Structures are given as C-alpha cells and as structure tokens.
C-alpha cells in the first residue's frame, strides 16, 4: 500500500521543500532508514500500540487494520521519521532512530477505512499544529500509543433564500478548525444536499454563495442551528444531522460595474473601497489585496448599513490577465481622487448599492516584471530593488522608496529615488517599500510596490555577503554562498534562479549547472529565508556567463596524395562533446569552393599542389575554434582503373558488335574507341558500336578502348579477337499485298522491314502461280487477263555479304470484274433550234474506256443521234434534251450514265445581213434587192419596197421598176426571212438617192 500523503494543512504543503520531504519519506520507508537523525547510542526506541476506531460517540472502539501510524519531528516542519501499517488486529510497532518527542499521525490513507474514519494527529488534532507530542526516552525506550480514529459525520438538508426559493449556486462545506482536509458539496436543483466526511471534533460548517455575484451572506452551523457569524461547531464521531435548513440572507452590498468608453466590461481593474472611520475621522482602505474587477467587470464589496463608503479604481497597478490597453484611474462619480468622490451608503439590510464607472483609455499596456528587493532594512545597511525585465523595450523606470507604520498610508522618502536605499535611524519601526513606475510614450504607466522589510525589527541575518561561487562558463556549476543564517530558519532557504530575467525552473536548490544556452546571459539567484516572527532575509546575486573554450586538436589528413584518391580529415577529439565540426579544404593554401565535407576527392586541378584541411568547431555557449592540418605531399597524377574490354554481338555481316569497356575509374573517365579488322584499324570506326559490313566477311574483329581524364595518365586496352566474320542473314519477312482484287485496281506489295538496311528488293507478280512478264515493280494494275485469277508477289532481297533471300506473299482472292468509274455526263451548248449540243462524258476509268452516246428528245431516243454532238432541229422545238453515255471495257462491267435534261429547246435565231439595192435611181429603171446570205439555210425570203417610209402596194418582188410616182422620193427595200422553228427576221436596206 502506498505511503499516505500528509494532510493539506501540513507544512509539506506550505513550503517549497514539501515535495522533497515526501520523496525522502518514501525512500526512508523503502530502505528502513532515516538519515536525518543519528542515534546517540545503540538503544532501540519503539512506538507500539493498537489502532481503534469509534463509529459514534457512544460506540465501543474496535480494532482497525491497514492503518498508517507515523512519527514526525516535533517542530513546525513535522518531517517524517518512521512509521508502520497496523495489522488486522490493529496492532502496530516501529522504531525511531533517537529518543525524543514526536508527533504521531494516524490515517487510513486510501485503505478500506478511508471512507469512514478521519485522519488525526495525536491529542485528537486535525493537523500537526497544537498536537501534543509523544516521547521515547532512554529510561522508557518503548512507548505505547493507542490511536483512536473517529468516524466522519454527515449532514442532509436544504438551502433556500428568504423567499423559500432553492439555491444551487452555493457550496456546503466542512473544514477542521485547526486545518486539514475539507469536505464540500453542492445542492441539487431543488436546493437539497448531502454532505459527507465532516471531520469529527470541531469544524466550520457553512454555506457560501458561489454565484460570483455576492448575493447572500455566508451562514454557519453551530451544531444546533444556523448563524450569520463565523462559528465553529462541535462534531461528535459519526454524527448524522438531518433536515438542516440553511436560509440565506441577502447581502448588503456595493455592486459596481467597470466599463470602457464603448460600454464593454473591463476585467482585472484594481479597486479600493474606502470606508469612513468615525472614531478617527479618516478614510481607511482594506488590509488585503490586490482587489480587481471580475471577468464581467463587476466589483462586489460588503457594506454595513449606515456606514460611508467611497470607491476608487486604478489600472496603473497591472493585475490579472494581460491586455493590450490600460485605463485612467478615477473615483466614483468621475472624480480624480477619493477626496472629491461621491459617498455611498446602504440604508437597509440586504440593499444592493449599484453603480457604473466608465473609464477612459490611458494608453497601451506595458509588460511589467515583478520587482525584487534584497538586502537588509536595518539602519546603515543597504536595500536594492531589481525591477526585472520590462517591455516593450525601452521602458523608462522611476524609483521611489516609501515607508509606512502600523498599516498607515505609504509615504515617499525624500530623495530616495534610485534602485538603492540605505535606511536611517529615522526609519526604525517603519515598513520599507520600493515603488517602481514604468512609463513609455503611448503606453499607460504602471506602478508596482514591493516590501523590503521592517526597519529596526529583529530579522534573520547572514554571516557574510550573499555571493555566487564558481566559474561562470558553460559546463561549470554556480554555488550559492550566504554564510551562516542566524537563527536557523524554520522555512528556507529557498532559491529562485533566473536567466536574463526569466525564471529558470531546472533547479530550486543552491547549485546551478550552467548550460551552453546560458552563454552570454545574466544568471541571477534570489534567496529568501523566513523565520516568523523575525523579518525575512532576502538576497540576490548575479553573474554573466562567459563562452566556454573548446578542446581543439590539430587535424590530420589520411589518404594518398594523387589525383583520384580520397583524402579524409581526421579531426581528433573535440570537446566537450557534442561539438559541431565544419571542414574547408585548401589547395596550396587557397580555399576550394564547395570542398566542405570531411572527405575530399583529389581532382585534376589539384595535380602538383599540396592539400590542407581546416576544421572549425562550434558549440552553443563556446567560442568557435579552428585548426588546420599539416600539408600533404604534392599531389601526383592519378592511375586510371583500366579493365580489358570485351566485345558483345554475333560475328557475321549485318550484326552490330558492341564494345563493353568495363568500369573505368575514378569516374568520370572519357573513353574513345577504335575498331580493327584483322588487326588493321578501320577508318571512322570510333564509336562504342560497329556494324559488320561486307568488307569484314572472313575477318576477325577487335576493339581498343582508350581512357583519358585530366590529372591521370592515359591508358589503352584491346579486346580479344572475335571469330571470323560469317556471311550475314537477311531479315526477310513474308510480304503482304494491299489493294482490291478486281480488274482495274492496283495491288501493292508490302515487303516488310528487311535488314540490315539497306537491302535491295526485287518484285515478281504471279497470276495463279504463273509469273507475269514485266510485272516486276512494287505495284501491279489488275488487267482483264487477271479476271478470275489469284495474285501473289515474290520479294527477293539481296545485299553484299549476305545470303540472298526470297519471300512470297499469300495469294489474293480471285480477281473479280472491275467497276468502271462512271461520272454523270453533262451537256454543253445552247438549247435552241440550230445550236449544237455537246456531251461532256467526264473522266471514265480506268482509261481507256470505250464510250457510246445516245441523245434523247424529252426522254425519247432520237434515231441516229449517237455521236458526242447533236444539232438541234425543228423537231426539238419545245423539247428537253438528254444524253446517255455508256462505257465499256474488257474485264469491267458496262456502265451507263444519263445527263440532266436541258431547258426546253427554244426557237432558232436566223442570221440575216442588211440587204442592198442595185440599179439607177431614175424613173423607168429597175431596182434589184440583193438579200445577202441568210442562215441557217434554207431560209425563205420575202420583199417589200418602200417609197420614203411608205410601203408600195404590190411591190413584193425582189425587183422593182421605178415609176413616175417615185420621182423625188428615196426608195428602200425590206427583206424578211422565215424558217420553221426559227423566229422571223426583217432587214431594211439603205435608202437610195432621190429618184430623178
């Protein structure tokens, strides 16, 4: 079973050493030792007894097993000495290392009885304070102590207000009057509660408002009833109080709300409620603090009916959570000091005096630190204030030392405005304070005060000034030296360590191991020692940590100094480990760019140079150090790794031989190649591969590989010879035939990829296995002779140095009848009688194609109209004309195509020249009309003679004899031509001269 922890009120929980005391106790129980007290003699000192428990005040006590009984030192610290667990019959026994008086603690811890019985110190106390010690002496080395644990009490009841409404935001609790474990609970929704583990004997049993609004007065249980004053109740063992009703009274209260200019609540604003003392006629502040507004900006303060109060708030003493801005101080109602503030008074019990205070913004918020005062407040000695680290830097700090007596207001000490103050005899009986005020443009000022002790009062002292011992560099330990403290304190010494003003929690003891991260920083230790009622002792000492010195050996270089070799820096053992090492290689004293690793591969540029390496060690908190090695010998030319090459590939014409050079080194190495034919270099054969040609037939082949690299000697290696080069074998795929197997189509031989290229290919086409004379190209046009036959092609490949090869394609299907290309013919010419129409057949194919023509008159074949042209006759007038073209060719299907019909054939147009008149223009002479050639012949001509513009009656012959009536007139003739299916045409001659 684990060792029980002491009660919450035990000094372990009130000092910084508590955790170490508990750990020490665990170790002592495990080892059965106690190193803190050495026995004066070989005598054995024993505590023994029987642990019993009482369930009620009147019950008989019964033995309890599995209970811890322990002895602790008889002082305020109550350090653990020894202890044991009780047996099932309640008996226990343990020894202590020395005679003396001890405080005895008995507890069920977490054992089976822990839910029933309360822990106790001897003399029935809930804490070590006030417990009566039990002694073992040399005369009586064995002491019988019979602890008797008493059962917890319990209570059930209800919590309401005066109106009978259930209260739930309250806490019902019981705490021992002398300190110890507290038991608490909360009521249910109807206000009912059950409180268990009420400590026996005497306890404070109360109901407290926990709404955060201070609505109700705290109420106490006396054992028989409830009161509103601080009262302790007697709790009999195992008592069970039932139906206990707490009726809470309204609290008489000041309720202030602090808001910003926008009306939003301001949390964590400091406040002072001033109350007027009628007896002294002075306004007095509370002896507690700091007091601040809550998260809702609320301030609650209990008032006494009839008393006078004033309320002032200030944001210059930063309290609570940090925020980005601060507010100006003021008193209610909007006055700068309490002297002019409004008086607030409660006139009746339970009254809530409500007010709102709106604060103006004073500026941004500083980041203050907590000042620390150390030294002595005695006259003639020195006090120093360390303000800590304030921000954002820079912050101007002002100092004012103050003093007060008997809790009076602080008074400035004239002229005491530096970080150091030496108290005088006039300060005797005064508490000395250091006030630090930080200011910065745009920021609200911040003021904080710290107590420096009471001057003239007896205090803890030290035999020597407080200092730090040890070398202030990384890896070393600083040790506090404060001499002898007088008197030996009850509490302390306590140590707080800081690095650059920030508390460092790696230790709270008197020694501090400096780490590399501390280099260049200020390390401070603060000492505090308390021994009530003496004034405490505070000390502070600081050192600046220097950078450490690395152990830096001279490096060496391993490896061979020739191009291609790798040099390695051997740095030696740097310390204290780990040390980060960096490398820089040098070529005859000149740093090589990029050569910063622990190894370096010697390059061509290093040939003839000496090499060194510089090793630089760095470590946080240490001064960087660098060491350079001794130089190597001059770097020699490197030797290439040159294997004998081999040749892969088949030694026959057409194959490709490949030189396999092997792995040359150090990489990269430039390789060149030369191929040899039976020992004779082949011109131009200088690549890693070589294609065997006809000239190589019967020869053996070798290749010489030559390696070159800057800074290295050139090397050449020749392969073993191949076998004699054999005749090559062509790659000869089976050809295929593309195209349609019908007369008129073109078949194409697809030979495939013959190789090695180039290969000369020849073709021969076959008609059902019979070679076709002259058909030796890659294509073949199917002719009429091929109709019904199958076609194949044989491809023969030949190449010098290779065996000729021939491959024949698979046969095509039997060649079918061809299909002529038969376009629709068109008709050119004008569709009118007398014109010639021409059939335009288009391109028939495959040429030649025999074409035949047939003309149609409105769909009826015209007998004999079978030529490519047709002259439109009178019979065609009003008809549409078409022509059908029929193509025929041996081996092809005959095809016929008919043109689109022309427009209806129009009447023809006659050709008629202007007639002339022959004869003498005198009366009695005969005039003759000469009509000219009309067409198309034959054309029927008629005549009409005119005297002036008047037709001469009856003058319709080709000739006309002039009569007397004609005298003086001009004569002309009109010739009119007519022909079937033609439009009639009339022509007038030129008039004669006037008839004489």
H-only helix segments in 276-363 = none
> Domain boundary at 670, 697, 718, which?
718
> Domain boundary at 338, 363, 388, which?
363
Bond prior to 487 in cis (omega within 30° of 0): yes
Token reading at 464:
């020597």
Picking from 386, 651, 732, 396, the residue whose alpha carbon sits closest to that of residue 539 is 386
In whole angstroms, give the CA distance from residue 947 to residue 124: 178
**Same domain as 523, residue 564:** no
Phi-psi map region of 859: left, alpha, beta (phi>0 left; psi -120 to 50 alpha): left
* pLDDT score of 533: 86
**Same domain as 333, residue 344:** yes
Instruction: Answer whether residue 688 is part of any domain.
Output: yes
Instruction: Answer whether residue 966 is part of any domain.
Output: yes
**Same domain as 694, residue 606:** no
* 3-state DSSP percent of the chain in helix, strand and coil, to 5: 5, 45, 50
**Same domain as 428, residue 319:** no
- Provide the domain count of the chain: 10
Instruction: Answer whether residue 923 is part of any domain.
Output: yes
Token reading at 951:
């037709």
pLDDT tens by residue, 115-132:
999 999 998 899 988 889
**Same domain as 441, residue 314:** no
> For the chain, what is the largest distance between any 2 Cα atoms, rounded to a whole number of angstroms?
209
Picking from 794, 795, 792, the residue whose alpha carbon sits closest to that of residue 815 is 792
SS3 category, 874: helix
**Same domain as 124, residue 97:** yes
Instruction: Answer whether residue 667 is part of any domain.
Output: yes
The CA distances from residue 559 to 556, 595, 599, 611, in Å, are: 10, 16, 10, 11
In whole angstroms, give the CA distance from residue 700 to residue 418: 106
The CA distances from residue 414 to 192, 435, 936, in Å, are: 61, 13, 152
- Burial class of 816 by CB neighbour count within 10 A (0 to 12, 13 to 18, 19+): middle
Residues 6+ apart with CB under 8 A from 845: 744, 820, 821
The CA distances from residue 793 to 368, 381, 457, 592, 786, in Å, are: 105, 128, 132, 73, 14
Q: What percent of the chain has pLDDT over 70?
A: 95
E runs forming strands in 635-692: 638-639, 646-648, 656-660, 670-677, 680-681, 689-691
CATH number of the domain encompassing residue 932: 2.60.40.2700
**Same domain as 843, residue 879:** yes
> What is the sign, positive or negative, of the torsion defined by CA atoms of 949, 951, 957, 960?
negative
> What is the sign, positive or negative, of the torsion defined by CA atoms of 956, 958, 964, 970?
positive
* pLDDT score of 321: 65
In whole angstroms, give the CA distance from residue 351 to residue 357: 19
Q: Contact, 827 vs 838, CB < 8 A? A: yes
Provide the residue count of the chain: 996
In whole angstroms, give the CA distance from residue 893 to residue 888: 7
**What is the edge-to-edge ordering of all strands in the sheet holding 45-50?**
91-96, 45-50, 142-144
**Same domain as 415, residue 482:** no
* pLDDT score of 710: 87
- Burial class of 40 by CB neighbour count within 10 A (0 to 12, 13 to 18, 19+): exposed
- Give the predicted TM-score (pTM) of the model: 0.47
Instruction: Answer whether residue 3 is part of any domain.
Output: no
SS3 category, 8: coil
Ranges of residues in the chain whose predicted pLDDT is under 70: 1-42, 317-321
Q: Which residues pair with 100 in a beta bridge?
A: 136
Token reading at 929:
């009309």
> Domain boundary at 690, 718, 746, which?
718
pLDDT tens by residue, 679-714:
999 999 999 999 999 999 999 999 999 999 889 999
Instruction: Answer whether residue 904 is part of any domain.
Output: no
**Same domain as 161, residue 243:** yes
* pLDDT score of 319: 63
Kind and range of the H or E run holding 20: helix 18-31
Kind and range of the H or E run holding 628: strand 625-628
Picking from 890, 817, 816, the residue whose alpha carbon sits closest to that of residue 849 is 890
Q: Contact, 125 vs 178, CB < 8 A? A: yes
**Same domain as 187, residue 222:** yes
Instruction: Answer whether residue 994 is part of any domain.
Output: no
DSSP calls for 690-706: EE--GGGBT--EEEEEE
Domain that holds residue 688: 640-718
Instruction: Answer whether residue 873 is part of any domain.
Output: yes
**Same domain as 133, residue 63:** yes
**Same domain as 93, residue 36:** yes
Q: Contact, 381 vs 459, CB < 8 A? A: no
DSSP calls for 505-543: TT--SSEEEPPGGGTTSEEEEEEEEE-TTSBPEEEEEEE
Q: Contact, 596 vs 584, CB < 8 A? A: yes
Q: Contact, 718 vs 678, CB < 8 A? A: no
Token reading at 317:
């003493």
């Amino acid at each position: 079973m684990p060792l029980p922890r002491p009660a919450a009120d035990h000094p372990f929980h009130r000092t910084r050493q508590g955790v170490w005391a508990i750990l020490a106790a665990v170790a002592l129980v495990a080892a059965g030792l106690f190193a803190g007290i050495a026995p004066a003699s070989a005598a054995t000192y024993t505590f023994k007894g029987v642990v019993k428990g009482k369930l009620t005040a009147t019950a008989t006590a019964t033995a309890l097993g599995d209970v811890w009984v322990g002895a602790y030192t008889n002082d305020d610290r109550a350090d653990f000495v020894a202890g044991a667990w009780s047996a099932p019959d309640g008996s226990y026994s343990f020894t202590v290392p020395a005679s003396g008086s001890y405080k005895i603690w008995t507890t069920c811890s977490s054992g089976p009885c822990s839910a029933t019985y309360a822990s106790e110190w001897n003399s029935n106390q809930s804490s070590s304070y006030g417990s009566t010690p039990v002694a073992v002496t040399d005369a009586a080395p064995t002491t019988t102590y019979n602890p008797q644990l008493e059962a917890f009490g319990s209570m059930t009841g209800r919590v309401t207000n005066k109106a009978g409404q259930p209260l739930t935001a309250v806490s019902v609790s019981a705490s021992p009057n002398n300190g110890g474990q507290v038991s608490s609970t909360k009521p249910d929704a109807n206000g009912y509660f059950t409180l268990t583990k009420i400590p026996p004997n005497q306890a404070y049993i109360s109901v407290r408002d926990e709404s955060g609004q201070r609505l109700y007065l705290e109420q106490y249980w006396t054992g028989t009833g409830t009161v509103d004053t601080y009262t302790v109740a007697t709790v009999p063992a195992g008592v069970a109080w039932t139906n206990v009703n707490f009726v809470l009274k309204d609290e008489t209260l000041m309720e202030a709300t602090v808001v910003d200019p926008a009306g939003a609540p301001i949390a964590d604003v400091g406040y002072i409620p001033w109350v007027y003392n009628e007896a002294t006629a002075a306004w007095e502040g509370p002896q507690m603090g700091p007091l601040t507004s809550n998260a809702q900006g609320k301030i609650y303060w209990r008032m006494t009916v009839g008393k006078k109060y004033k309320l002032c708030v200030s944001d210059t003493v930063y309290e609570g959570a940090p925020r980005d801005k601060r507010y100006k101080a003021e008193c209610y109602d909007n006055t700068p000091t309490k002297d002019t503030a409004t008086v607030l008074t409660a006139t009746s019990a339970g009254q809530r005096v409500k007010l709102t205070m709106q604060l103006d913004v004073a500026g941004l918020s500083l980041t203050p630190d907590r000042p620390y005062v150390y030294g002595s407040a005695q006259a003639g000695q020195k006090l120093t204030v360390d303000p800590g680290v304030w921000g954002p830097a820079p912050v101007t700090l002002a100092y004012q030392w103050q003093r007060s007596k008997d809790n009076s207001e602080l008074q400035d000490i004239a002229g005491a405005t530096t970080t150091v103050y030496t108290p005088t005899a006039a300060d005797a009986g005064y508490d000395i304070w250091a006030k630090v005020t930080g200011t910065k443009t745009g920021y609200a000022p911040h003021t904080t005060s710290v107590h420096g002790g009471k001057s003239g009062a007896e205090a803890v002292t030290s035999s020597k000034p407080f200092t730090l011992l040890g070398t202030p560099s990384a890896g070393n330990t600083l040790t506090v030296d404060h001499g002898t403290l007088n008197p030996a304190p009850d509490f302390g010494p306590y140590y707080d360590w800081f690095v650059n003003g920030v508390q460092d929690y790696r230790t709270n003891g008197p020694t501090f191991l400096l780490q590399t991260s501390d280099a260049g920083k200020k390390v401070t230790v603060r000492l505090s020692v308390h021994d009530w009622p003496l004034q405490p002792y505070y000390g502070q000492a600081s050192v600046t940590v220097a950078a450490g010195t690395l152990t830096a050996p001279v490096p060496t270089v391993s490896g061979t100094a020739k191009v291609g070799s790798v040099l390695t820096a051997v740095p030696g053992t740097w310390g204290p480990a780990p040390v980060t090492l960096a490398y820089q290689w040098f070529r005859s004293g000149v740093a090589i760019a990029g050569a910063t690793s622990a190894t370096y591969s010697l390059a061509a540029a290093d040939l003839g140079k000496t090499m060194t390496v510089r090793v630089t060690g760095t470590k946080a908190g240490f001064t960087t150090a660098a060491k350079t090695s001794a130089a190597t010998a001059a770097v020699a030319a490197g030797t290439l790794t040159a294997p004998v090459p081999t040749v892969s590939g088949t030694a026959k014409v057409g194959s490709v031989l490949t030189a396999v050079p092997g792995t040359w080194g150090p990489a990269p190495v430039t390789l060149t190649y030369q191929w040899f034919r039976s020992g004779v270099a082949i011109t131009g054969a200088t690549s890693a591969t070589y294609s065997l040609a006809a000239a190589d037939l019967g020869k053996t082949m070798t290749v010489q590989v030559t390696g070159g690299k800057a800074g290295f000697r050139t090397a050449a290696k020749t392969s073993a010879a191949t076998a004699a080069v054999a005749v090559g074998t062509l790659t000869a795929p089976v050809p295929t035939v593309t195209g349609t197997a019908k007369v008129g189509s073109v078949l194409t031989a697809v030979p495939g990829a013959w190789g090695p290229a180039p290969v000369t290919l020849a073709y021969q086409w076959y008609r059902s296995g019979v070679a076709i004379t002259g058909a030796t190209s890659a294509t073949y046009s199917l002719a009429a002779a091929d109709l019904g036959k199958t076609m194949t092609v044989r491809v023969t490949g030949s190449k010098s140095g290779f065996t000729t090869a021939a491959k024949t394609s698979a046969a095509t299907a039997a060649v079918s009848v061809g299909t002529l290309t038969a376009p629709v013919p068109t008709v050119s010419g004008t569709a009118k009688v007398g014109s010639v129409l021409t059939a335009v057949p288009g391109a028939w194919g495959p040429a030649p194609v025999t074409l035949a023509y047939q003309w149609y008159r409105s769909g009826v074949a015209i007998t004999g109209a079978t030529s490519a042209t047709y002259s439109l006759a009178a019979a065609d007038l009003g008809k549409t004309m078409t022509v059908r073209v029929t193509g025929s060719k041996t081996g092809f299907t005959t095809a016929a195509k008919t043109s689109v019909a022309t427009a209806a054939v129009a009447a023809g147009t006659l050709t008629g020249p202007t007639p002339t008149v022959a004869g003498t223009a005198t009366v009695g002479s005969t005039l003759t009309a000469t009509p000219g050639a009309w067409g198309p012949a034959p054309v029927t001509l008629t005549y009409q003679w005119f005297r002036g513009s008047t037709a001469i009656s009856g003058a319709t012959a080709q000739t006309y004899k002039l009569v007397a009536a004609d005298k003086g007139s001009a004569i002309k003739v009109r010739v009119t031509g007519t022909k079937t299916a033609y439009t009639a045409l009339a022509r007038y001659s030129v008039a004669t001269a006037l008839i004489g």
